[in-house]
Amino acid sequence: MAATKKSLPISDRHGFSVLELGDMEIWDGADLSLLRECLVRLIQGRKARRVGVDMTHVKYVPSGFFGMLFDWHDAGIAIRLYSPQENVERMLWFNRFFEPLGDGAFQLCPSRHETPTEDAPLIPEPATPASAWDRIANAHPAAVVSTVQG
């Protein structure tokens, strides 16, 4: 019997291909892996340049999620999150790097002035494990120290 690839439903919102997570509240490594595989299929297979994730029911986000999004952004892909819950909105990386657009939509905008380019590569370079953490630490070193020291 051939193995079938799991997938997430996709909708269109204002020109963004949005992965619908359904009632997925807490992600584990397998869920993050599924999300990454679906993003790869959207971006590489369908050549999507504008992608989003509906986070209506998400209560916990694993640490690798932001780094993955940032890598795609660095590759020229526009990233949006839709309807994140309050606890996700309070996360340091979310507050620092996402800009509210209204109607529950937030766009990844590290410099608040960058826009994706049409000629950016479709496959992001693999990030070092600390790449996203380094960006957060450089953006808000005092906040990171207080979080780490507890």
Query: Residue 85 in contact with residue 59, Cβ under 8 Å?
Result: yes
Instruction: Tell me phi and psi for residue 60, to 5 degrees.
Output: -140, 135
pLDDT value of position 134: 52
The average pLDDT across 66-84 equals 93
Tens digit of pLDDT for each residue in 80-102?
A: 999 999 988 888 888 889 999 99
The average pLDDT across 39-61 equals 93
* Two tokens, residue 72: 């795609």
The average pLDDT across 52-76 equals 90
CA 75 to chain centre: 13
pLDDT value of position 114: 45
Q: Where are the domains of the chain?
A: 10-149
Q: Which CATH architecture has domain 10-149?
A: 2-Layer Sandwich (3.30)
Give me the percent of the chain exceeding a pLDDT of 90: 41
Would you say residue 121 has pLDDT above 60? no
pTM over 0.75: no
> How many residues make up the chain in this entry?
150
- Mean pLDDT of the residues in the chain: 77
pLDDT value of position 2: 43
Count of Cβ atoms closer than 10 Å to residue 62 Cβ: 15
DSSP result, 27-65: --HHHHHHHHHHHHIIIIIS--SEEEEE-TT--B--THH
Confidence of residue 64 (pLDDT cuts 50, 70, 90): confident
* Two tokens, residue 56: 């209506």
Burial class (CB in 10 A: 0-12, 13-18, 19+), 36: middle
More confident residue, 128 or 101: 101
pLDDT value of position 138: 52
Angle formed by the axes of helices 131-139 and 141-149, to 10°? 110
